[in-house]
Amino acid sequence: MTALNINARIAVIGAGAMGAGIAQVAAQAGHPVLLLDNRPGAAAQAIDGIDRQLGKRVEKGKLSAEARAATIARLQAVEAIEALADCELIIEAIVENLEAKRTLFRQLEGICGEQCILASNTSSLSITSIAAQLSHPQRLLGLHFFNPAPIMALVEIVSGLASDPRLAECLYDTAKAWGKKPVHTRSTPGFIVNRVARPFYAESLRLLQEGAADCPTLDSLMRDAGGFAMGAFELTDLIGHDVNYAVTCSVFDAYYADTRFLPSLIQKELVDAGRLGRKSGHGFYSYAEGAERPQPKHISSEQSIDTCVVEGSLGIAQPLITRLREQGVEIIQRDGQGLLRTGDAVLALSDGRMACQRAREDGLRNLILLDLAFDYGKASRIAISYTADIDPTALEQGVAVLQRAGLNVSPLSDSPALAVLRTVAMLANEAADALLQGVASAADIDLAMRAGVNYPQGPLAWGDAIGLSHLLKVLENLQASYGEERYRPSLALRRRVAEGRTFHDKS
Ligand code: NAI
């Protein structure tokens, strides 16, 4: 089935932030669009708002005055639901309440034609459940846009138990024709993005709770090493802690209290205190006038390093060696297990064990563990951890070699899998479980995380880049360290490792 014809009349119900944005997207694509809200005058106001937004784009030279006028001419505010009778697609973006949505769709069934596709923009309710009481549940699907809808590219096309696969294809093609990046997903709690993204917040919150590092240090590691646009604390301050905490609680409840989704007491306390983030002027950071953003911690060294010994390969961290060579450091290559030696210091990429444990088990004195970086060739910061009894000169030497490669060095307490590695390992593990459960394809999961929350790389592709055997080891070590099911590796990961395949390997 192909995309809806450009002349097909579309309706959007609910003229709030999402409904107005979706109406704008459909109208800009060329469809006649009706906008309805049960607050009198709200739909007309929303169209005025869209007009103002488009006006700003015209002023900036990003849109022609003709295109603005044509878009606005395609939008029509209506006050009665009966006006939607001849629409071919109706997208609901009303209040997030199951009964309200069910009632609305039942009412629509009595008004619109049999060919009309019904879609919900819900972000947390089950499509199966919304459709359950309809006479034709097969024509109801989820069409989940991200905020702000005109800007965010991702649209999750959500199929419930009864949804017609041909209609899912039609919505997929239609979203694509609207310039979006659609993905298919099954109606499971959190769909793709709101489920797979949970560890991004959860692992930073846990590290904070355990005193591994402070907020600015963890945030800067996620940005400067992890390649994420923002760290978890600045991002949740932006989203609003009430909203982010509610999503976590809803996913946690929906998965029957699986500890992978355990909400954070630290975040709950912020919500209890009314520190909701930017919108209330205070969250993890203060947004009061003149408030200064605290700086990330780093350590520096006065030592000078001219020679290093590399034993084996550092795996994904190998570009660090290129950076050192470029700085004129002499590299002596030997066989071995992936260690970088300089002076008395031994550096290695974390495998999920604490430094104290690995030093003892592998007989390595003065061990310094390196965190993951998205691109070791370009990162400007790296986290390290080390044993409490490290020789201070060896620590200085280890820090000096990383400095020489151009990195700021942020110390963490001796935590399993440090910060970026544990976060990415858990993102990849959650994505693997979603894959295992048939929630979406590997390609769609990765696309959803890149287009929906701007991750620098899809979590499954990232797992492939780290190496799935290493990823599995990291998770097993995390699970052993904490003794918690939260870190249990997904069967999908174990299976790929046993089969010698990657996540994106189709063979
Ligand atoms: P909102 O509160 O800004 O707007 C909802 C609008 O629906 C209001 O104008 C309200 O008057 C109207 N409304 C409520 N009940 C109605 C009814 N029975 N008939 C007609 N109009 C009705 O809400 P928002 O943020 O736009 O969210 C709408 C939907 O989109 C919810 O299901 C939400 O979960 C979902 N969503 C929200 C996102 C967000 O970031 N805000 C992102 C993705 C989905």
How many angstroms does the Cα of residue 410 sit away from the middle of ligand 1?
42
pLDDT tens, residue by residue, 207-253: 999 999 999 999 999 999 999 999 999 999 999 999 999 999 999 99
pLDDT tens, residue by residue, 320-340: 999 999 999 999 999 999 999
pLDDT at 171: 98
CB 492 within 8 Å of CB 460: no
pLDDT tens, residue by residue, 143-162: 999 999 999 999 999 999 99
Q: Which one is the CATH code of 307-411: 3.90.480.20, 3.20.20.100, 3.50.50.60, 3.30.750.190?
A: 3.30.750.190
Is the bond into 263 cis (omega within 30 degrees of 0)?
Answer: no
Query: What predicted TM-score, i.e. pTM, was given to this entire model?
Result: 0.96
Q: Which long-range contacts (CB under 8 A, 24 or more apart) does 290-293 make?
A: 293/216
Fold of 192-212+214-294+418-507: N-(1-d-carboxylethyl)-l-norvaline Dehydrogenase; domain 2 (1.10.1040)
Where does residue 499 rank: exposed (0-12), middle (13-18), buried (19+ CB within 10 A)? exposed
pLDDT tens, residue by residue, 15-45: 999 999 999 999 999 999 999 999 999 999 9
How many angstroms does the Cα of residue 259 sit away from the middle of ligand 1?
30
pLDDT at 362 over 70: yes
pLDDT tens, residue by residue, 420-454: 999 999 999 999 999 999 999 999 999 999 999 99
pLDDT at 506 over 90: no
Query: Which residues contact residue 211 at a Cβ distance below 8 angstroms, ignoring those fewer than 6 apart?
Result: 413
Hey, whose CA ends up nearest to atom 39 of ligand 1? 147
Q: Which one is the CATH code of 10-187: 3.60.21.10, 3.30.1330.40, 3.40.50.2300, 3.40.50.720?
A: 3.40.50.720
Show me where the domains of the chain are located: 10-187, 192-212+214-294+418-507, 307-411
pLDDT at 108 over 70: yes
Distances (CA, A) of 228 to 18, 395, 419: 25, 28, 13
CB 147 within 8 Å of CB 119: no
pLDDT at 223: 98
Same fold, 192-212+214-294+418-507 and 307-411: no
pLDDT at 507 over 70: no
pLDDT, mean of residues 273-299: 97
Output the CA torsion 333→334→336→339 (10° steps).
Answer: -40
Q: How far apart are CA 22 and CA 35, in angstroms?
A: 10
pLDDT at 1: 63
Atom of ligand 1 nearest to the CA of 95: 14
Mutate to test the pocket of ligand 1, among 22, 38, 95 (most ligand atoms within 8 A of CB): 95
Q: Is 93 in the pocket of ligand 1 (CB under 6 A)?
A: yes
Q: Is 156 in the pocket of ligand 1 (CB under 6 A)?
A: no
Instruction: Report the share of the chain in percent with pLDDT over 90.
Output: 99
Helix-helix angle 420-436:491-499, to 10 degrees? 90
Q: Is 17 in the pocket of ligand 1 (CB under 6 A)?
A: yes
Tokens of 403: 């400095």
Query: Which residues contact residue 160 at a Cβ distance below 8 angstroms, ignoring those fewer than 6 apart?
Result: 126, 127, 128, 129, 130, 131, 137, 140, 141, 142, 187
Q: How far apart are CA 396 and CA 345, in angstroms?
A: 8
pLDDT at 48: 98
DSSP class of residue 137 equals G
Angle ∠(473,478,482) on CA atoms, nearest 5: 150
pLDDT at 505: 87
Residue 58 pLDDT level (bands cut at 50, 70, 90): very high
Tokens of 202: 């959860």
